[in-house]
């Protein structure tokens, strides 16, 4: 009989008071990323996903002005300390559509860099066993609750280190 290994998860919830604080949180996460990092951004339109991505990418050596949501192109690629694939799956309705647009190929390419996936909740079953989920909840026009969920050993460790700062 095959033994199932329970999925490791660690959660950390924070509130940011404004877009600058959301960007700063992204920067603090970006400091800790290494090759093969998968960041799954989840939340409604206008909740701060791209703002967070700008902060994260800035820490990877990519100017903030270069970071745009790739809603109409599916993916933007950036060269920095690590190469970044910034995917926006807004137009991808489900896992099947995710397979059709080649999400697995993008995840394979991200092994040499970082993948930031906006609207990642549409393809969660396709993600590897280790990733960081970042869920945004709008509390007011500027204030956001951001819940970080480390899936797998790598990201549970990252959140443990992050929470002890």
Secondary structure of 17-55 in the HEC alphabet? CCHHHHHHHHHHHHCCCCCCEEEEEECCCCCCHHHHHHH
Say which residue, 163 or 127, is predicted with more confidence.
127
pTM over 0.85: yes
Overall CATH class of domain 19-163: alpha beta
pLDDT, mean over the chain: 91
Q: What value does the mean pLDDT take over residues 123-147?
A: 96
What ranges do the domains of the chain cover? 19-163
Percent of all residues in the chain with a pLDDT value above 70, rounded to a whole number: 95
**In whole angstroms, what is the distance from residue 163 CA to residue 148 CA?**
11
């Amino acid at each position: 009989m095959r033994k199932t290994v329970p999925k490791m998860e660690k959660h950390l919830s924070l509130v940011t008071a404004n877009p600058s604080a959301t960007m700063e949180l992204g920067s603090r996460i970006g400091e800790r990323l290494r090759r093969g990092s998968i960041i799954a951004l989840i939340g409604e339109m206008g909740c701060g996903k791209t703002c967070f991505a700008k902060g994260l990418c800035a820490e990877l050596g990519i100017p903030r002005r270069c970071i745009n949501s790739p809603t109409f192109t599916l993916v933007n690629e950036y060269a920095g300390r690590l190469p970044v694939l910034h995917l926006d799956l807004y137009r991808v309705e489900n896992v099947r559509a995710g397979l059709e647009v080649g999400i697995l190929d993008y995840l394979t390419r991200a092994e040499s860099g970082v993948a930031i996936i906006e609207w990642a909740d549409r393809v969660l079953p396709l993600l590897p066993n280790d990733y960081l989920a970042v869920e945004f909840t709008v509390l007011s026009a500027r204030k956001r609750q951001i819940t970080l969920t480390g899936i797998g050993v790598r990201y549970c460790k990252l959140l443990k280190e992050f929470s002890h700062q």
